[in-house]
Amino acid sequence: MIVAGAGGHALELLDILISMERTKNLEFFDELSSINVFQDRFPIIHSEEKVKAHLLKDPFFILGTGNPIVRHQFYKRFSDFGGKLITVKGKGVVFSDFTSGAEEADIFNLCFISAKTQLGKGCLINTGAQIHHEVKIGEFTEISPGAVLLGKVEVGSFCSIGAHATILPKVRIGNHVTVGAGSVVTKDVPDGVTVIGVPGRIV
């Protein structure tokens, strides 16, 4: 298995993989770094040729970065090489039997995923986030640690919801939106903007 990325997010991901005993033949990919070993234990590969060779033997890969655009780029590249995306579920995760898309999302430790939620392909629900009833999240969106999405919120694709941000009930957020850490979003947000503050305002 290959982790696509070898930075800070990959460190947290590695802890989950170790707890799940999923480190057999584990390698990391980082084409920008000259370091050859991750955490003094796991090989780092730097070329697409080695990625392709690994995927021929073991087709599975995990997205090891939190950035929505980079997550999608890695997904596209590794899928084009014949790879198959797998996802992780951390410890202490509580999610409803009526959640859809959880198998295609990374959900880190201590998250709460409520009833009739919909999670898009490649999205990341980071540590301690709360996703309440009937929330819809688009593809490759990042929900940062401690963020709270209340009932019937809709978040588009390629968004980044900052740490400890709160999205109030029924608010709709477009695609490619960034919500700053600690912000409280009280009304709908169009595509492609950044929102900060309490209450949230477009900047």
Contact 165, 144 (CB under 8 A): yes
**What integer pLDDT is reported at residue 10 of this predicted model?**
96
Q: Are 122 and 160 in the same domain?
A: yes
> What mean pLDDT do residues 145-164 have?
98
Mean pLDDT (whole number) for 5-24: 94
Q: 155 and 96: one domain?
A: yes
Residues 60 and 109 grouped into a single domain: no
Q: Which of 65, 73, 51 is nearest to 11 (CA)?
A: 65
32 and 102 fall within a common domain: no
Q: Final residue of a domain: which of 48, 66, 85?
A: 85
Residue 109 identity (one-letter amino acid): N
Do residues 69 and 18 both lie within one domain? yes
Residues 46 and 100 in one domain: no
State how many domains the chain has: 2
Residues 79, 23 share a domain? yes
**CA-derived radius of gyration, the chain:** 17
Q: Is pLDDT of 185 > 90?
A: yes
Residue 21 belongs to domain with CATH number: 3.40.50.20
DSSP-based three-state secondary structure for 157: coil
pLDDT tens digits along 97-109: 999 999 999 999 9
Q: Residue 13: which of 157, 171, 125 has the closest Cα? A: 125
In this structure, are 39 and 118 located in the same domain? no
Asked if pLDDT for residue 34 goes beyond 90, the answer is: no
Cα angle 17, 93, 128; round to 5: 95
Among 37, 64, 85, the domain boundary falls at 85
Angle value at C-alpha 77, between 72 and 78, nearest 5 degrees: 100
Q: Single out the residue in 85, 100, 123 at which a domain terminates.
A: 85
**Do 95 and 178 reside in the same domain of the chain?**
yes
Average pLDDT over every residue of 120-130: 98
Mean pLDDT computed over every residue of the chain: 96
Stated pTM of the model:
0.95
Query: Band of the pLDDT at 33, cuts 50, 70, 90?
Result: confident
Q: Which domain holds residue 76?
A: 2-85
pLDDT tens, position by position, 55-66: 999 999 999 999
pLDDT value of position 178? 98
